[in-house]
Structure 1
């Protein structure tokens, strides 16, 4: 350490929870630890490893915020999502599926793909983890948490375009010590944590730490009458450190995290209901055709009462199909005369008709309570060799496994009862519509349908399941110098291999219903339907297993399967040249070789194999399973790095000042978009989408200053930056997949961090961030919430059930179909054909001839792939100049704490106030996308007796019980474009007692 701090005029001491830097003059320390009482107004300064070597945070020419365990506890920052409250220009929110978005200076992880990398590198003890539990896991026995802002293109490399979050655990020490902490709070909160450190002789020490949290649910499900979104999680860490000789040190760390509870992966679903147009081109619409022209939900603001509606369920594609299903049963009269009984209770069945939602974001109504399970293991081996007094060789080896399982109600609404009570014996019906003949089984006795995965219900049930299994192995070797002269260096190489399988399922009992009783109407009369080689006609395989043990081969549910392998290696180096005692130059360069292999498995919802028989064609190629397409192989070779000049002038008005200017180059690899529906192009051709997305690149310019004033009582750090971003990755759900698009952008802003001790007892701190972002020239994208972009010559149309996305069609053609006076069902089915680009338009629909062409009936010709904008997908929205998502213009935090000395006790009272200005959830910056400004207040009181090592704390988090919408994502077209919103945890009140031994 002494060598690393040579020439800085600083030495270091360890005191309690923090490392302190002590200014020296003439080799006499000005002050000691604040905890020891000498010079108590000194602002504590952490030793950090932001440059992968130990330095004072005030000497690092990087915008970095660092927090000791004590500092985290003072602010009641218990996990990664709460770090935003203490760092300027940082935002955090959960994202869809198993993802989250930690955003720094407007740059986060808005790309959703199994092959995408996080823009903020999350590291455990300097090892980057592609998959991690930063969102779920609470901090455990940490030494400190460092957050580096800006691209770290040399030392952290490939996936650190926005910055780095580095969690440094406590390692075993030479002293026997232990800690126990117990906590109780509202929502029946119970939390235990502890640590035990034991030396084993002079060279070996072990440390064990663990934590357990249990808490009742934050949300109330009015349908199941249960509290959900609870917490039941635990972590443990075992570490050992061995120092057999002066020149060698080794430590090994194993950390395990596990959660098994009813945490909600997403929040409430909001919707401004879209009833559809009453007229099109002057022609009136019926209830059914109007629904075919509804997108389910409108792009209205989420902050009006109208947003607490429900989607137009009649617009769901499966209900158009089901509207035509009838079943034959014998009735008195002539032989073979049958009565046609409709499958649903009403001919026009909106499952959500008449329903409304509570305005309380913590109150939901769903038929299925969530299930949440995750496990994460990290094993790390660190070796350090002192090759000489000035050269150190460091090796870091790490292996991680991450497993994740989350299931919850997909639609987030409880539907009305929808099934008819057929209740008749099985018969052979010979007069089904359009000449079909089939063996019919009574599907809904008593008005109840039994789905093999979701069970029996009289309502529409929809459940999703997100699960993943990931493994990562990494190795890094670094050679670092600490010469007395002006030149030092850090050289290294690393290798990373990552394997992942992500599965996302959506189960819906109406999907299974259609598979069993429409597309499989000629299958053998047994339940469930099993597609056999001898099946006489096309067959859609129905998985007969319950949700807990599905075989993953069913076509009665949606499955997105993504298998990815990432292999990356890099060599890097930084040189540090002290040009003069006050001026230093840092120059770094990194070469990265990235390789990604994605194995696409297209989705197969309601698709079956065409056996060359008569009857409706689903457009599928397989009856069962999810065959893989050829691998998508991608690779990039990139140079990144940074160049920094820093100056430490001797100023009369400051104790210590650092001024720096830097340029950094960042890079993050591209990837492949998830595979789409595997529809036979000979049956239906539909809108093309990009198979892959490009890497991100960033040129970042920054100037900053770090200052200590008033004999250490005041610290003031300021930074200004300008980013030129190329191909920023942003995702939206299109065709039931997360489609990732690339946009150029420019970001600029400033940050201010202040800590001030006006008196030894009073501490004030603040951080303020200003951010301005704008998308680059020519930026454009199709907004799924507004495909026509207000053009009256085009009308949105819903597709047939196997086609995932809405389309746009000429208003005149829609009006022509509506004006022919067809039966409602036939007119609605004809409208759906406008979304297909094949000569066999309508072949999905058993009501229409397989070679049906529009012009034969309506007198016009139309092919959306040729005649409609962007193949029928819609018009581009102009995004140039729009703000990036999750990039508020202002963030700031104000904190104050005062310590009362009462005999042998110290009582510290602290309050923190955080505010984030309004921002946008999507790149389109419409009223629908706007997120209102929100704030958060936290209070704590800590009573400590240094002599007895006892600490009692009372705290209140989210004092005013606010529930702001912090972010949201939009669901797919065929589920109504509902908005899944995220919010904060409610008010949490707790009391804890901690003892050290």
Structure 2
């Protein structure tokens, strides 16, 4: 709560409150929420789960009252980075986000991973939350604690804590209303009513509504997208039946249903592939001498789709090389659809022979996309919390916090953020080459148009992804805390958490359904006459079940789409305590310890894209079942870990300062590990994988920090400084490998400095600023395979694209590739199969027509002995990149913010005009641990302005503001897509320039 002496509550705010510690750069909130504090006019926080003046807390903490949030125009959690040093924020590719403090965030995107920054609602941690989507309203304050907070806040607070403290009912009637209009047809409304029912009981209701048009424009559908339609409500009750007992209950609901985009534009520096390998020309369809269309785009088999190149070059606004995509190649060279009438030799294949992306273009505007499918976004979140505080004695308080949270999330959008060219060959009038009768047009493409059961009819390549999550959380905490007059106090507690989630990620592609129908579901195999249904319940057949339902009512049994299903349950309990010993009047020691027991249960569900149940014979799809998603036995992980901290703080009398606090701390943090999703359910006789780790390790951090908090000149100046050093063990970072989110662990160090200050030379003028400096380094031995650079420049190996069952690119020996390319039989198509056989798989992989090779496996036919699983680096996945000394992702070395405001009295002080400006900048950083030119994120800055006219006597306020004044579109982070879709890059950027005008009235 915010505590101010009653004598100070007026339309003017005390200089001390306005010049609060650097950690609290904005003024304390006035009005009904202000109460008397015995230790002066300072903001009171609950960083240590007890009410303390912020300048007395030996933690690097920033706290923002409702007024401060409005001054900064911080409307959601994502904007806190502008006011807190060494904080970074970006949306992630799926249903969550990355809030990082001092270089440590949540770069693991597994459903079984935990956030490194604990987001708490009124001191209750929430594993899943809508910090990015929801907007802040009727807040008491927001606290940001930097550094490990594992003693009091628990297992998933290795980087820090964001604590959202809502305003609670009090004993005074209050009514607030605010309406706002702005560009993009923005309409906002918010309000609060506080009603004392009796002397001991009060209720409070608050709500907020936002509606606006999209920030982005879809040139294909000619509609604006990435808009907002959201609303939130909060109902709270507080009952104080006696001086010893206080009970409150809170229900908060969030609801959004609009066309918000989960990701931004998709960039790609097109990779054409090599023109030759050691002097051997590679056909690409534009050169003479190619005998059959089977090898027209052979060059694409050596292209990874998109190059590892800077996202800031003009070339980055290209499209992937589609001629190497396995599903495109399958339709171009493996699936004959029939013969045109009167032509017994010109076989028509399923897909047109050209790259579907070759003529696709992209705008240089990051806010402009071209897709055939507009986003759909829905989210619902409910939080129920009950709190009891009972004074057992005058100096001993029992606290109970009970919370239940439920979250639902649904987001679908175009997987490729650009429009392809035509894909499907016209099957009208085609004849079966054996019978001469017209082929069935069921699930074919008459007129070059195919009707996909999920995505509808189109002549183009359509791909849509869907990210969906459903989870719930229940938690209970009991604490016993003292407030003795003597030198010793304590805070003891125990808590329990039960979290359950199901995260589903779908990728729909009309090419997938077309291949399922026409490659695996025709009789005889590879025939053209009849389509054979593959119903649910099919066994012993290599057909692939196609879900016939639209995208919003799937039966979720289809193998014509990719589905990654993640079922995780976490149970955790802990016992913790902190002791506070005032050794002298000015010297205090804090010691805390927590013991946590975690149990995570994951139910593995293997993906089934284009897999059937043919039993493993040559030429089959390579799967084990034709429909559905069988589960494997549960994976149960358990950890028991101690965490804690020790702090020494000293308040010397320096004479030149009003108050000084100097502190030093050492702390230990922990965050649980988890499981990597299972890979595709492949038959090992047909396709083999090198094993990947099924689990990833927990994170640990040992942190050392020294700091000082100071106020001068009667509170007109505050200056706080912090220095820290982290030793990080097994930091969790993800990348997409074999269509799964593979989580890897890295050891690292991080150190830095933070400065925060506020200066209030007069009531009318105020300046506040903060500066963060950060250096991060991966330790010796850090290594990983970079999917954007698998060969690491080794000239003896080349990159290859695999067949459709294999989801990832591979590397192969240049000598063997040259052998295949120089063999004349390559011109008859066998070379394609031989190249595919070099990527994983068994010796049978790629042998579609044994008669061509006299029944020999391809490796023998070409005269080489090679097994990629055993003979290639890391099973053909590529060479490790040495990462020692590289910087952690999303860890800019410099963050800086400065804000100033000036208040001008008007009409003898009846009105006050306040002018405010804020400038924020962060330096360059990297999006991945590889620190290549591709990974580099340029530094960026942001300017916000506001003009506020207020009549204090009536508590009437008019405000006009502009955010992102210069309309900048920096790339704040990105996500690299999978190999089998071309390694394109989804980028994230800031909101555009926004201006608005609001009217607020308090009664």
TM over 0.5: yes
Aligned partner of 2:820 in structure 1 is 817
CA distance in 1, matches of 2:385, 2:28: 32
Q: CA deviation at 1:964?
A: 0.2
Aligned partner of 2:561 in structure 1 is 557
CA distance in 2, matches of 1:146, 1:158: 19
Q: Give the alignment partner of residue 396 of structure 2, picking from 391, 398, 408.
A: 391
Q: Give the alignment partner of residue 592 of structure 2, picking from 588, 593, 606.
A: 588
Aligned partner of 2:321 in structure 1 is 312
Q: Give the alignment partner of residue 953 of structure 2, picking from 944, 947, 969.
A: 947
Change in 2 beyond 3 A, CA 1:14/1:467: farther
Please state if 1:225 is matched with 2:222.
Answer: yes
Q: Give the alignment partner of residue 700 of structure 1, picking from 699, 703, 727.
A: 703
Q: How does 1:357-506 map to 2 (within 5 A)?
A: 357-424=362-429, 429-430=433-434, 441=442, 443-506=444-507
Q: Give the alignment partner of residue 116 of structure 1, picking from 113, 117, 135.
A: 113
Change in 2 beyond 3 A, CA 1:661/1:13: farther
**SS of residue matched to 1:352:** coil
Q: 8 Å contact 1:232–1:261 — kept in the other structure?
A: yes
Q: 8 Å contact 1:619–1:844 — kept in the other structure?
A: no
Please state if 1:546 is matched with 2:561.
Answer: no
Q: 8 Å contact 2:521–2:531 — kept in the other structure?
A: no
Q: CA deviation at 1:898?
A: 0.4
> Structure 1, residues 84-118: CA drift from partner, whole Å, max 9, x if none?
00000000000111120000000000001010000
Aligned partner of 1:280 in structure 2 is 277
Q: CA deviation at 1:910?
A: 0.4
CA distance in 2, matches of 1:381, 1:748: 39
Q: CA deviation at 1:865?
A: 1.1
Q: 8 Å contact 2:149–2:157 — kept in the other structure?
A: yes
Change in 2 beyond 3 A, CA 1:924/1:442: closer
> Structure 1, residues 632-683: CA drift from partner, whole Å, max 9, x if none?
1101000000000000011100001000000010000000011111111122
Q: CA deviation at 1:802?
A: 1.1
CA distance in 1, matches of 2:853, 2:844: 9
The size of the alignment, in residue pairs, is: 969
Q: CA deviation at 1:901?
A: 1.0
Change in 2 beyond 3 A, CA 1:322/1:294: same
Q: 8 Å contact 1:763–1:896 — kept in the other structure?
A: yes
CA distance in 2, matches of 1:886, 1:736: 23
CA distance in 2, matches of 1:445, 1:164: 58
Q: How does 1:71-82 map to 2 (within 5 A)?
A: 71-82=68-79
Please state if 1:344 is matched with 2:351.
Answer: yes
> Structure 1, residues 298-356: CA drift from partner, whole Å, max 9, x if none?
000001101111110111101111112212358469xxx786322223x3x20111222
Aligned partner of 1:326 in structure 2 is 336
**SS of residue matched to 1:272:** coil
Q: CA deviation at 1:616?
A: 2.0
Q: 8 Å contact 1:19–1:47 — kept in the other structure?
A: no
Q: Give the alignment partner of residue 963 of structure 2, picking from 951, 957, 965.
A: 957
**SS of residue matched to 1:453:** coil
CA distance in 1, matches of 2:205, 2:536: 56
Please state if 1:188 is matched with 2:190.
Answer: no
Q: Give the alignment partner of residue 52 of structure 1, picking from 49, 53, 65.
A: 49
Please state if 1:875 is matched with 2:879.
Answer: yes
CA distance in 1, matches of 2:150, 2:5: 28
- Structure 1 length normalisation: TM-score? 0.94
Q: CA deviation at 1:535?
A: 7.7
CA distance in 1, matches of 2:418, 2:744: 31
Q: CA deviation at 1:624?
A: 0.1
Q: CA deviation at 1:837?
A: 3.9
Q: CA deviation at 1:383?
A: 0.5
Q: 8 Å contact 1:839–1:851 — kept in the other structure?
A: no
Please state if 1:647 is matched with 2:650.
Answer: yes
Change in 2 beyond 3 A, CA 1:824/1:118: farther
Q: CA deviation at 1:17?
A: 11
> Structure 1, residues 363-422: CA drift from partner, whole Å, max 9, x if none?
001111000100000000001101011110000000000000000000112000121221
Aligned partner of 1:760 in structure 2 is 763
Aligned partner of 2:292 in structure 1 is none
Please state if 1:574 is matched with 2:565.
Answer: no
CA distance in 1, matches of 2:948, 2:319: 46
**SS of residue matched to 1:552:** coil
**SS of residue matched to 1:297:** coil
Q: CA deviation at 1:205?
A: 0.4
Q: 8 Å contact 1:720–1:751 — kept in the other structure?
A: yes
Change in 2 beyond 3 A, CA 1:865/1:247: same
Q: CA deviation at 1:529?
A: 3.3
* Gaps in structure 2 of 5+ consecutive residues: 19-26, 32-38, 285-296
CA distance in 1, matches of 2:259, 2:42: 40
Aligned partner of 1:866 in structure 2 is 870
Q: 8 Å contact 1:120–1:164 — kept in the other structure?
A: yes
Change in 2 beyond 3 A, CA 1:653/1:34: farther
Q: CA deviation at 1:711?
A: 0.8
Change in 2 beyond 3 A, CA 1:20/1:593: farther
Aligned partner of 2:722 in structure 1 is 719
Deviates more, 1:322-331 or 1:497-506: 322-331
- Structure 2 length normalisation: TM-score? 0.93
Please state if 1:204 is matched with 2:204.
Answer: no
CA distance in 2, matches of 1:341, 1:557: 25
Aligned partner of 2:745 in structure 1 is 742
Q: Give the alignment partner of residue 92 of structure 1, picking from 89, 93, 118.
A: 89
Q: CA deviation at 1:556?
A: 0.4
Aligned partner of 1:174 in structure 2 is 171
CA distance in 2, matches of 1:343, 1:270: 28
CA distance in 2, matches of 1:548, 1:971: 24
Please state if 1:968 is matched with 2:974.
Answer: yes
Q: How does 1:724-735 map to 2 (within 5 A)?
A: 724-735=727-738
Aligned partner of 1:521 in structure 2 is 522
Please state if 1:995 is matched with 2:992.
Answer: no
> Structure 1, residues 718-759: CA drift from partner, whole Å, max 9, x if none?
000000000000111111111100000000000000000122
> Structure 1, residues 499-537: CA drift from partner, whole Å, max 9, x if none?
000000000000000000011112898879333667884
Please state if 1:855 is matched with 2:862.
Answer: no
Q: 8 Å contact 2:946–2:961 — kept in the other structure?
A: yes
Q: Give the alignment partner of residue 602 of structure 1, picking from 602, 606, 619.
A: 606
CA distance in 2, matches of 1:691, 1:101: 23
Q: 8 Å contact 2:427–2:441 — kept in the other structure?
A: no
Please state if 1:356 is matched with 2:357.
Answer: no
CA distance in 1, matches of 2:942, 2:875: 46
Q: CA deviation at 1:245?
A: 1.2
* Gaps in structure 1 of 5+ consecutive residues: 24-31, 37-41
Q: 8 Å contact 2:801–2:809 — kept in the other structure?
A: yes
Q: 8 Å contact 2:911–2:949 — kept in the other structure?
A: yes
CA distance in 2, matches of 1:20, 1:141: 24
Q: Give the alignment partner of residue 913 of structure 1, picking from 916, 919, 924.
A: 919
Deviates more, 1:873-882 or 1:354-363: 354-363
Change in 2 beyond 3 A, CA 1:535/1:595: closer
Q: CA deviation at 1:281?
A: 2.3
CA distance in 2, matches of 1:113, 1:812: 39
Aligned partner of 2:237 in structure 1 is 240
**SS of residue matched to 1:760:** coil
